[in-house]
């Protein structure tokens, strides 16, 4: 990999990113509603198969629920785009790896995202896998070690044209390398950024496709003035298109997605839905006469 393609730092920007845990969409239950603000450590999905809950990884405003039951989040973030990565999208707590010696290092924490400034060793990689570590960001890795761990040809993997769903059969640890293959240490700029956010919840995406020009990245959001500004903007949008009894509306998600109706009642208190969501809601009489209780965040007023 050439020096010109090395990791790129992006200063704080506002982004919209889909948070998707992977797998069968019919098994994914979103636990948040459109218009809701979420924290990075807040569970936003439940997997029906094992009732596991999965945290967001980003703090921000829920903009929509996608067709595959992902959650589109608007957030103020800093990001580091890397040269090479493999693995699915995972959240985790950024944790500095303090020693190059596996024997002298402290125990690994399940769900952590390790920051390894030097070349990633195969012994640390396997130890991380056994410990339930979510991901590793390192300077580089030897080609032989990476292909041996993945049990696949890395060039063939990067040249695939399929979506990130092809990453699901890979080992559960998501990997990012700021300098790519070889023996280079992480750049001082990249290391300083990650070190500054040690202890923060971050979102790691390893999917790399040269065909689709998709590159892996680590994204870190934070509850600052920029994030609060997103919330304020969302509240203003809701105020501009107020919902009242008698409003003609369209449902923007759930089983009644796309259907139209009239609001007959606005509940004074938050309602609890089968998915576990607790939020403001309205009783809506649909065009076919059916009556549904719908989260306010899923209603769009038809002017």
The full DSSP string for 268-299 is SS-EE-TTS-EE-EEEEEETTS-EEEEEGGGE
- Candidate from 123-132, 188-197, 198-207, 274-283 with smallest mean pLDDT: 274-283
Tokens of 129: 């896998």
Q: What are phi and psi of 298, to 5 degrees?
A: -100, 5
pTM of the model: 0.69
- CATH number at 295 reads 2.30.30.30
Domain that holds residue 246: 242-301
Residue 129 in this model has a pLDDT that exceeds 70: yes
Structural element, H or E, at residue 257: none
> Higher-confidence residue: 86 or 239?
86
My answer on whether 208 and 246 are in the same domain is no
In a domain, 68, yes or no: yes
pLDDT at residue 237 is higher than 60: no
Instruction: Please give the share of the chain, as a percent, with pLDDT higher than 90.
Output: 27
Pick from 169, 189, 221: which residue ends a domain?
221
Answer yes or no: do 251 and 111 share one domain.
Answer: no
The answer to whether residue 237 sits within a structural domain is no
């Amino acid at each position: 990999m050439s020096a010109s393609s090395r990791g790129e730092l992006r200063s704080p920007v506002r982004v919209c990113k889909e948070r998707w845990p992977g797998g069968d969409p019919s098994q994914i239950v979103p636990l948040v509603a459109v218009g809701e603000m979420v924290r990075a450590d807040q569970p936003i999905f439940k997997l029906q198969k094992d009732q596991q809950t999965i945290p967001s990884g980003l703090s921000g405003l829920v903009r929509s629920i996608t067709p595959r039951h992902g959650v589109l989040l608007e957030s103020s973030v800093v990001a580091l785009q890397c040269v090479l990565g493999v693995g699915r999208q995972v959240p985790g707590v950024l944790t500095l790896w303090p020693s190059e010696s596996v024997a002298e290092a402290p125990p690994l924490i399940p769900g952590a995202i390790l920051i390894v400034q030097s070349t990633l060793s195969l012994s640390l990689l396997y130890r991380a896998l056994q410990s339930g570590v979510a991901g590793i960001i390192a300077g580089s890795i030897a080609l032989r070690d990476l292909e041996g761990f993945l049990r696949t040809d890395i060039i063939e993997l990067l040249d695939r044209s399929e979506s990130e769903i092809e990453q699901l059969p890979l080992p559960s640890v998501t990997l990012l390398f700021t300098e790519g293959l070889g023996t280079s240490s992480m750049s001082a700029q990249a290391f300083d950024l990650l070190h500054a956010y040690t202890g923060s919840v971050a979102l790691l995406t390893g999917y790399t496709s040269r065909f689709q020009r998709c590159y892996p990245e680590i994204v870190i959001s934070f509850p600052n003035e920029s994030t609060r500004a997103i919330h304020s903007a969302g509240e203003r949008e809701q105020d501009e298109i107020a919902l009242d009894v008698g409003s003609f509306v369209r449902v923007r998600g759930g089983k009644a997605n796309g259907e139209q109706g009239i609001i007959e009642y606005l509940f004074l208190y938050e309602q609890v839905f089968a998915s576990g969501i607790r939020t403001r809601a309205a009783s809506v009489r649909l065009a076919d006469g059916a009556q549904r209780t719908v989260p306010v965040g899923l209603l769009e007023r038809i002017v």
